[in-house]
Amino acid sequence: MHPVSDDDPYLWLEEVSGEAALAWVAERNAETEAALVADPGFAGLKTRLREVRDATDRIPYTTRRGAYLYNFWQDAEHVRGLWRRTTPEQYRKDEPEWEVLLDVDALAEAEGEKWVWAGARVRHPAYDRALVLLSRDGGDAVVVREFDMATLTFVEDGFRVPEAKTRIGWIDADTVFVGTDTGPGSLTDSGYPRTVRRWRRGTPLEKAELVFEAEQGDVAAWGMRDSTPGFERDFVGRSLDFFHSETHLLTADGELVRIDVPDDAEAYAHRTHLIVELKSEWLGHPAGSLLAFDFDAFLAGDRTAEALFTPDERTALAGQSWTRRHLILEIMRDVSTRIEVLTPGPDGWTREPLADVPALSAVSVTDTDPDVSDEYFLDVSGFLQPSTLYRGEIGAGSEQLKQAPARFDATGLSVRQHFAVSDDGTRVPYFEIGPDRAVTGPGPALLYGYGGFEVSLTPYYSGVTGRAWLERGGTYVIANIRGGGEYGPAWHQAALGAHRHRAFEDFAAVARDLVARGVTTPAMLGAEGGSNGGLLIGAMLTRYPELFGALVAEMPLLDMVRFHKLLAGASWIAEYGDPDEPADLPHLRDLSPYHHLAADRPYPPVLLMTSTRDDRVHPGHARKTAARLRELGHEVLFHENTGGGHAGASDNEQNAHNDALVHTFLWQRLAG
């Protein structure tokens, strides 16, 4: 590594809407458009990628609320989207009849605002009112408006909250829990709500009753009503950092009763049960275990637990969903999923498999109906296997509801899993999708990774990757590096803080293994990552430039000395460390790609992408890095979408454009 430079002449690029900064962005965008949009294949590629996103025969995944199945839908005619619903009987049809609840395109046109759908909190169990969340052009901050589900109109004198990173949820028909920006002291250092208030209809928001308060240095405070009929309870809590929290039962007389589990555990109540997922050892159970307690007995001091899941070195819990009488677990073994059904009874819990899943595939429970029935919706897919959606009832079989068509030609392609050996001897799994390179010889390859926040990268079907990369003869690779959750909490914690370099070493090990196995060469190997994965790509640029022929970082985190001062950055201190702490600053300076850029080091060409409306990872990370690379004489392209938020795009047109930029850049550099 080259010496760290603390000189930062580009702080002015952190002014998100500064006149000089936006002028600089416009110049860089024009350069990138000239280099990539003018490519002879760009227009055709973008058209084909837009077709994937706009396809009307996509599976419309739903959420059951009472008698209806709800869906949010975007296509070529509905750019901003439709919030709609249908009945289960209609949903079985190839072309269901949908009732449109809210047309976001029409709303945006009527109000002259670039509204982006950010979800709805529908009041349970009546499903008669909703709190609709709308974002301006894709940011995390939202406005909140109450919506009448019978008249399909906004409630004129209903609950309304101006733009903020608001947390809100129903208590009853006339009361909500809300945390939002109400002036000085109402937000944490991370920019999220610090207080929880009980807000009654018809009263001013600023007069709402304060029921809970977090510390200024916490990430956020929250409140929620468990509205399960017969088990109504109120909970409040605070996120101390990204991985530690406290939860309290809020009694009718306002008393706070701490749910006394480890602060790094995830806990929730379900009917008579308290369910706890461990991130560290507790009560003799290893990290990664899932435990069940009797809720009332636990509050009385009883710590008798039943282990619902116990991990081993190859197995981790990937998800859980309740039906009326059962708990469905999604379990990963070497990053492939299986499903088990657990049933509580007077003699303890029993378990049985739910469905057979093809090897190297992913299966997920997309929805259940925990109030009424044992219904579940199950999605099965793989890298070369389009999604199939099943509906079933536990104990009563299942039916295939929807089958997505293939979006690309997979002839001659296969999926293989391999393991690379990292610098410290750790075996790192990765998926390789593409042609048999033993027959074709080395070819262009694209390596994707994330490696943080316990996020797991599992098999999935992507028509965009298929059309933009695989159909053209490229190999696509997913690296399951440390920092993720593929093998449970220990896999994540192995790359925390000062150990982040292990994630970088794992990714580099996969890159070397691809070359050693004859899949590709360094000149034909590209890498891509976004957000925390953008930090990973920055590390490849400064630590391992000789391994790659091109790099793409999207919404990247790159300045590890100032990240905590930019937008939501303070909330990630638990993942990386605190630059204001003398004990952490040395390793953060060492991890920071922005501070290790040098003129005399050969770097592969880089494409940096961000959004002006990203209010999570500051666009200054990408802007400053592009400016410094340009100053040092390196090849770099930069693209900043004016909207889109942290996702980078808010509609299918923007997404297709961004996808075409990325793959045109990579194909130019890696395939000649």
- Provide the 3-class DSSP secondary structure of residue 317: strand
What span, in angstroms and rounded, lies between the C-alpha atoms of 656 and 662? 10
Contacts of 498 (CB under 8 A, 6+ apart): 577, 584, 587
Q: In this structure, which amino acid lies at residue 514?
A: L
Q: Which two tokens stand for residue 381?
A: 């897919």
260: DSSP letter? -
SS3 breakdown of the chain: % helix, strand, coil, rounded to 5? Answer: 25, 35, 40
How many whole angstroms separate alpha carbon 118 and alpha carbon 104?
11
**125 cis-preceded (ω within 30 degrees of 0):** yes
- Give the residues across from 199 on adjacent strands: 176
Q: Distance between CA atoms of 345 and 529, rounded to whole angstroms?
A: 45
Encoded tokens for 307: 């282990």
Please pick, among 361, 381, 422, 531, the residue that the annotation labels catalytic.
531
User: Is 78 a catalytic site residue?
Assistant: no
The kind and range of the H/E element at 27 are helix 19-32
DSSP state, residue 571: G
Marked catalytic residue, from 595, 618, 621, 646: 646
Any idea what the Cα angle at residue 593 is, between residues 587 and 597, rounded to 5°? 120
- Cα separation, 492 vs 481, whole angstroms: 9
Element spanning 627, H or E: helix 620-631
- In the annotation, is 462 catalytic? no
Helix (H) or strand (E) holding 535: helix 532-543
Please name the residues in contact with 337: beta carbons below 8 A apart, sequence gap of 6 or more: 318, 330, 331, 357, 361, 362, 363, 364, 458
Tell me the Ramachandran region of residue 423: left when phi exceeds 0, alpha when psi lies from -120 to 50, beta otherwise. Answer: alpha
Return the closest-CA partner of residue 531 out of 616, 592, 643, 470.
616
Task: Outline where DSSP puts E strands in 313-404.
Answer: 315-322, 327-333, 336-345, 348-355, 361-368, 375-382, 385-393, 398-403
Residues paired with 409 in a beta bridge:
none
Cα 672 from Cα 668, distance rounded (Å): 5
In whole angstroms, give the CA distance from residue 653 to residue 46.
9
User: Known catalytic residues?
Assistant: 531, 646
